[in-house]
Structure formats: C-alpha cells, structure tokens
C-alpha cells in the first residue's frame, strides 16, 4: 500500500484537495504520510477526524506515518492528538 503524502501546508485549499483524494480511497485502507507538513489548520484537522470516523464505520484503517514535528505541534496547538486522526488499530 502506497502512502499518500500530505502537502506542506494543510490550509483550506489543501484540505479540499485532500478530501477529494481521500474520497477516491474510500473503502480501502489508507495511509497518510505527514513527513513534509509544516503547517496544519483547524479545517484540516476537522476533515481528518471526519475521515477517521468514516474509515472506522467502513471497517477500514486510516493511519498517519512519519508525522513531522510541525504537524504534531500544529495538532497540539489546536487541542488535538494524532490518535484522533487514526482508526483504533493505529492509536
């Protein structure tokens, strides 16, 4: 399974594109690579939480690999943790 690389900046525009790409992966296990992320916005976090809930409801896994320090710091600044964005098998 190939990981989908997340963009450097997860802003409104990137979130819209990521949502489209994730919809194409629906019904499959998905892996997101957060190694290049330098900035993450609240809309992106909300969308990733929604995606995790959908993947969980579908009985599939959604995981995030290689979270950059900026990605983790952005989540923390927004009051989130990486576990909120992944299905239970990856928390």
Report pLDDT digits (tens) over 35-82.
999 999 999 999 999 999 999 999 999 999 999 999 999 999 999 999
> For 40, what's the count of Cα atoms within 13 Å in the CB-facing half-sphere?
28
Strand partners, 49: none
pLDDT higher than 60, residue 90: no
- pLDDT at 30 > cutoff 80: yes
Measured distance CA(84)–CA(47) in Å, rounded: 11
Every domain of the chain and the residues it spans: 4-90
**Which CATH number does 4-90 carry?**
3.30.750.24
CB 70 within 8 A of CB 39: yes
Q: Report if pTM > 0.95.
A: no
Sign of CA dihedral 30, 73, 82, 55: negative
Report how far residue 79's alpha carbon sits from residue 74's, in angstroms, rounded to the nearest whole number: 9
Q: How far apart are CA 73 and CA 75, in angstroms?
A: 5
Specify the pLDDT at position 88: 78
């Amino acid at each position: 399974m190939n990981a989908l690389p997340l963009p450097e900046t997860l802003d409104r525009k990137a979130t819209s594109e990521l949502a489209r790409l994730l919809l194409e992966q629906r019904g499959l296990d998905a892996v997101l690579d957060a190694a290049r992320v330098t900035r993450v916005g609240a809309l992106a976090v909300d969308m990733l939480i929604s995606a995790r809930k959908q993947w969980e409801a579908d009985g599939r896994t959604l995981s995030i690999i290689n979270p950059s320090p900026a990605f983790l710091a952005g989540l923390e600044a927004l009051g989130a943790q990486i576990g909120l964005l992944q299905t239970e098998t990856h928390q």
